[in-house]
A and B are shown apart, each in its own frame.
Chain A
Amino acid sequence: MADYSWPEPDSQGVLRKSYHRLDGAVKASGAAKYSSDENLPGMLHARVLTCPHAHARIERIDVEPARRMPGVRAVRVIQDAGSEVQWALDEIAVVAADTDEIARDAARAIVVEYQVLPHFVTEEDLAAAPDAKPGAEETVGDPDAGFAQAEVAIETRLGMPQIAHMCLEPHGQVAVWEGSELTVHISTQAVSTIPFQLAEPLGVPASSVRALCEYMGGGFGSKFGPERWGVEGARLAKDAGRPVKLFLERDQEVAVAGSRPSSFAKVRVGATSDGKLVAWESESWGSGGVPGTSAIPIPYVFTGIPHQRKKHVSVPTHMVGARAWRAPNHPQAAFVTMSALDDLAARLGMDPLELFRKNLDLAPESLRETYAEELEIAAELMRWKERWRPRGERQPGPVQRGLGLSIHTWGGRGHRSACEVTVQPDGSIEAKIGTQDLGTGTRTVIAMVLAETFGLEPHQVKVSVGDSRYPQSGPSGGSTTVGGVSAATRRGAQDALREVLAKVAPELGVTADQLEAVGGRVRVVGQASRSLSWREAAAKIGVVPITANGRNPGPPADLTNSGVGGVQMADVSVDLETGVVKINRLVAVQDCGLVINHKLAESQVFGGMIMGIGYALYEELVADPVTGRPLNANMELYKLASIADVGELQVHLMDTPRHQARGVIGIGEPPVISPGAAISNAVANAIGVRVPYLPITPRRVLDALAASSGKAS
């Protein structure tokens, strides 16, 4: 039975090299057509009428004024009289018209009368929550005995608000019917699963629905399903008998198309006087809108703390249900845990790096060695040992500088995926996979695996993705894509190559297992002179192309793996007079198994760090407690980090033989987990007090300083 494997390091021609992303030129020149760039003949533009109230019953809706407007081709009521709306900016009706301007006018012309109902949108105040749902208390060991045994304990209260995905390309699609066949050009992380999800509400067979997504402008976990606007867009297109483009306006994109749950916690943690963790107690709560939230995984990484008591309260609010935001629940867990441990280190007068090191035996065994190595490397890059000073040691002038750190983990095993590899008699090669490239470099990675297997260069092979008619592949979430598509491609390519070699072998007077494809040639192993060019070799297969199907999971060896560790360290300056925090430097040391493309992997880490700086310092969805409406459902008041805000960034990938041998593991989620904690710890180190809530705005810095000086006086 044939086996499958990654090439050994000394025989890698393409893997681990920093090829440019293959679609880089198409994107940088504006030639890439995103789903929202589709302009089809006769296409209508759709706009949604949204609800202005956080909680209301629809008493009356009249769409006739919209229907009567010239240029309006279809109008649909999404929530009719009697419906109870549970969050502001929820969809009420939708209009398709000849132009976007007419569609907007028509949506505004719809008359809706509401009975406004009571709402709750401010979950940080747990006592005020009308519908809090306490979970069961969980204990490990004997928490009371643990705290009795602890020589030092700290108590802290920490929190981070709901934030938005803020995809630059809004959610939406262009829907086109040809008879009973539907095609959607959709901005999605999951072309393979969209047809079934759309087909069910539309009452058509999934086999009659095709999802296309050649390029998409950001998802971050919010673009898995077609959503209600996807279904309604398809219905409008059916009603009007014309293609309909429906992409959300920015306010709805921010407020309802994707958010990360908030998380708050009261934490007590105890240790021996030399910094060994013995006891953990936490009451956490948070909201991901209407459904509330599940518990966050705390204590994070240091899961082996011997004595623990934990309780989580889910708090439903009148906000849309949260979506999976890059590394769901981990940034919150890292912030709560690493901040509490950093406070404990400060209480002990200990360098937190030492405290973390001392307790690595409480981390999962498989990651301890990696963490120890990463802490060493990060400390060196940050010059931690020379530069770290005890928390709050006052420096001259109003600007105080500090260092902080955090560690994290993630799974990242490759998802279920198929790949069809075709070798044509002229030597051209194509891989088809029903995956999508979110900008993570998926196309490039697939091309590199193909090229590696056939002894070619990535630009010599063709990769086709973004079509649900290609062999199925899992949704791009949880850092599962790179492992899934690379393993499926490798297996398909190895099978296809073996078939080619079987045809070539008689020509060279050897058996197939004596042949290899290297450097654009098929040659006898160890006898470079006995060879054919790849094109000559492919010509031996006859007129019928060779097609092989690779799968993940699939036959051994396992080509992907799960479980990575990462360390981040932050260097910040804080102005005690203005409260402004500035990132001087952020260092990330990250493991992700076998790195297929260094440059693209580093880009993922840079991206995670920058998103992390955003939620650490700037990002917060603010709902008005009086009206329940979002106050910053736009890009001027919901602040993303800009190029001015991110400081110097440094990435180190753990590309050692030990890590490579584990196979391919995803890297999208891990680097976004630690920045909040590392930056918060650096701010505490700089100013001497914990700013308990993210984002660390100037006001929160000044409030924390005032509270601390109030205590002192």
Chain B
Amino acid sequence: MSDEHESRSGDRADASSGLSRRSFLRGGAAGALATGALLGTEPVRGAAQAGETGASFVGPGEVGIELRVNGAARQLRVEPRVTLLDALRDRLDVTGPKKVCDRATCGACTVLEDGRPIYACTRLAIEAEGREITTVEGLGNPDGLHPVQAAFVAHDAQQCGFCTPGFVVAATALLAEHPSPTHDQVVQALGGNLCRCGTYAGIRRVVHDPGRG
């Protein structure tokens, strides 16, 4: 079963764009060391490592960064350990992306980074500098829904709606790449988003609906 669960979560982004769930898990040890350096919890080792690799580190105190979110430049100060998700939700009041598992399993925090879906809970805010971040709010609004959002409404692909922003973003990315996705493509793209109310029947109609939009 573990293979099945791993494969269904999918690789959300390629290695160059950072932390897909799989590469994050596989790179666990190295990731922990790098995080330690960023946190400044072990400054000596962090500095030595930085020197060896030519990288620099920041923190542990707050640093000023600029994020591009839904087309707007937003300045904020965050500790380097603050995730993109917490920066969006707690600092910028961009609350479409939801905090649920907080460890790259459920997909409720899915946002687009330069057009590719990522888990915002597993990206540091400082890593997202210079990237174009699009949340569910950036796709459309209640009076002008994105076609994928409209399809979620039309097919009743939501109940409590807490997983919906993540699903909308992941489905938008899927359909941009594969306008008529196969079953396997749907599983690959949406298997890393979890719903508790049980809205998968509606979500399948959204991604397979030829009349969408």
Contacts and interface: CB of A to CB of B under 8 A. Distances in A.
B23 interface: no
B105 A634 contact: yes
A603 B159 contact: yes
Contacts of A642: 5, 8, 187, 190-194, 200
B196 A643 contact: no
Determine the main DSSP class of A at the interface with B.
Answer: loop
Nearest to A26: B142
Contacts of A100: 86, 90
B196 A611 contact: yes
A609 B197 CA distance: 10
B186 A217 contact: no
Given A30-B136, A634-B105, A644-B187, A218 B1 contact: no
Interface stretch (A129-137, A163-171, A514-522): A163-171
Contact of B142 (A25, A166, A217, A439): A25
A167 B197 CA distance: 9
Contact of A21 (B93, B141, B153, B162): B153
A101 B81 contact: yes
Interface residues of A, number: 60
A469 to B, nearest CB: 23
Given A168-B98, A609-B198, A635-B101, A27 B161 contact: yes
A607 interface: yes
A267 interface: no
Contacts of B158: 21, 24, 27-28, 439
A26 B149 CA distance: 10
Nearest to A27: B161
B156 interface: yes
Contacts of B5: 639, 642
B137 interface: yes
Given A33-B95, A39-B93, A250 B160 contact: no
B43 interface: no
B140 interface: yes
Given A215-B161, A611-B198, A635-B100, A101 B156 contact: no
A31 B141 contact: yes
Interface residues of B, number: 65
- Which of A580, A602, A642 gathers the greatest number of chain B CB atoms within 10 Å? A642
Interface in A639-671: 639-644, 646, 649
- Which of A640, A644, A698 gathers the greatest number of chain B CB atoms within 10 Å? A644
Interface in B137-152: 137, 139-143, 145-146, 149-150, 152
B98 A217 contact: yes
B186 A643 contact: yes
Determine the main DSSP class of B at the interface with A.
Answer: loop
B153 A24 contact: yes
A624 interface: no
Interface string A160-194: 00000011111000000000000000000000000
Nearest to A164: B196
Interface string A596-615: 00011011001111110000
Contacts of A45: 90
Contacts of B193: 642-643
B103 interface: yes
Contact of B164 (A28, A600, A646): A28
Nearest to B152: A28
B160 A24 contact: no
Given A26-B142, A45-B90, A635 B105 contact: yes
B1 A220 contact: no
A216 interface: yes
A29 B101 contact: no
Interface string B97-120: 111111101101000000000000
Contacts of A215: 160-161
Contacts of B149: 25, 28-29
A396 B145 CA distance: 50
Nearest to B101: A635
B84 interface: no
A440 B196 contact: no
- Which of B5, B86, B137, B159 gathers the greatest number of chain A CB atoms within 10 Å? B159
Contact of B159 (A39, A166, A440, A646): A440
- Which of B135, B145, B154, B162 gathers the greatest number of chain A CB atoms within 10 Å? B162
A100 B99 CA distance: 13
A640 B194 contact: yes
B165 interface: yes
A708 interface: no
Nearest to B86: A100
A34 interface: yes
B162 A34 contact: yes
Contacts of B108: 168
A154 B27 CA distance: 52
A57 to B, nearest CB: 31
A603 B202 contact: yes
A438 interface: yes
B142 A607 contact: no
Contact of A606 (B162, B163, B186, B202): B202
A685 B102 CA distance: 40
B1 A697 contact: yes
Interface string B58-75: 000000000000000000
B11 interface: no
A169 B193 CA distance: 14
Interface in B167-186: 168, 186
A32 interface: yes
Interface string A616-653: 00000000000000000011100111111010010000
Contacts of A33: 95
A20 interface: yes
Nearest to B183: A644
A37 interface: yes
A606 B159 CA distance: 11
A282 B43 CA distance: 64
B24 to A, nearest CB: 11
A99 interface: yes
B160 A439 contact: yes
A643 B201 CA distance: 8
A222 B198 CA distance: 17
Contacts of B152: 24, 28
A635 to B, nearest CB: 4
Nearest to A43: B90
Contacts of A99: 79, 90
B204 interface: yes
A27 B159 CA distance: 9
Contacts of A39: 89-90, 93, 95
Contacts of B145: 25, 28-29
Contact of A216 (B99, B142, B160, B191): B160
Contacts of A220: 196
B121 to A, nearest CB: 10
Nearest to B1: A698
Nearest to A645: B8
A217 B197 CA distance: 9
Contacts of B195: 168, 610, 640
A439 B159 contact: yes
A101 B81 CA distance: 9
Contacts of A641: 198, 200
Given A32-B161, A167-B196, A250-B101, 4 more contacts: A29-B141, A31-B137, A217-B161, A606-B198
28 contacts: A20-B153, A21-B153, A23-B161, A24-B153, A25-B149, A28-B152, A28-B153, A28-B164, A29-B96, A30-B95, A30-B97, A31-B137, A37-B95, A218-B162, A250-B100, A580-B1, A603-B199, A607-B159, A608-B198, A610-B199, A611-B198, A635-B106, A639-B1, A642-B5, A642-B8, A642-B194, A643-B187, A643-B200
Interface of A: 20-21, 23-34, 36-37, 39, 45, 99-101, 166-170, 215-218, 220, 249-250, 438-440, 580, 599-600, 602-603, 606-611, 634-636, 639-644, 646, 649, 697-698
The 3 closest A-B pairs by CB, nearest first: A30-B96, A610-B198, A217-B162
